[in-house]
Amino acid sequence: QVQIVESGGGLVQPGGSLRLSCAASGIDSSIYTMGWYRQAPGYRALVATITSTGTTNYKDSVKGRFTISRDNAKNTMYLQMNSLKPNETAVYYCALHLSPGKYYWGQGTRVTVSS
């Protein structure tokens, strides 16, 4: 059974940093693209993705502040978020891209950016 579990969310002040983790089990995540998304009204907005070979892609608004990475030995992906802004408050989800249009999702971790 595939499980995707996020952790690392919490309350941070504007300008602060958080590191999210996404642990996969029941599947070798290293051979799949994985991504971070955040909940927007009516949909989950892409934040960043990383392919099996380490190629990364970022939403324009987070470039230079967020870094996505993965540790294949640990079957885990990360999102380092720096200089966080209040409008980035959201539930952040990890997804494993199994095939076009088919994803395994985690339960989400809440990030609150507030003073």
Per-residue pLDDT at 82: 98
Q: Is 29 helix (H, G, I), strand (E, B) or coil?
A: helix
Q: What percent of the chain has pLDDT over 90?
A: 91
> In what helix (H) or strand (E) does residue 95 lie, and over which residues does it extend?
strand 90-99
Q: pLDDT for 12-65, tens place per residue?
A: 999 999 999 999 999 889 889 999 999 988 889 999 999 999 999 999 999 999
